[in-house]
Amino acid sequence: MRDQVRRASLSIPSNIAGGFERGDNKEFIRYLTIAKGSAGEVFTQLHIARDQGYITDKDFEKLQDQTVRIGRMLGGFIQYLKKSARERLKQE
């Protein structure tokens, strides 16, 4: 479980960086969406870890809050990029 949480956690910044380096907003959005999915995976693994007694409720709350915030930030950024892409299309 620890390794799975680590892989999913590392996947978040890795996908953000990988998508950014593609240089295309459509690809960037796709990679941000994958990163957001990884945040969801971490969220689920945290619930399982708490339910199995691997982490305390206090640690769960702290990590859950951080994971939810990251997911929301990614979701907001994705929506911003989609909106700005639509606005650019309207201007053309």
Q: Give me the CATH number covering residue 85.
A: 1.20.1440.60
Number of folded domains that form the chain: 1
Q: Which domain holds residue 55?
A: 2-91
Enter the pTM of the model. Answer: 0.89
| CA dist list (Å): 6 to 14, 42, 88 | 12, 8, 38
**pLDDT one digit per residue (tens) for the chain, 92 residues:** 889 999 999 999 999 999 999 988 999 999 999 999 999 999 999 999 999 999 999 999 999 999 999 999 999 999 999 998 877 777 77
DSSP E strands in 1-92: the ranges are: none
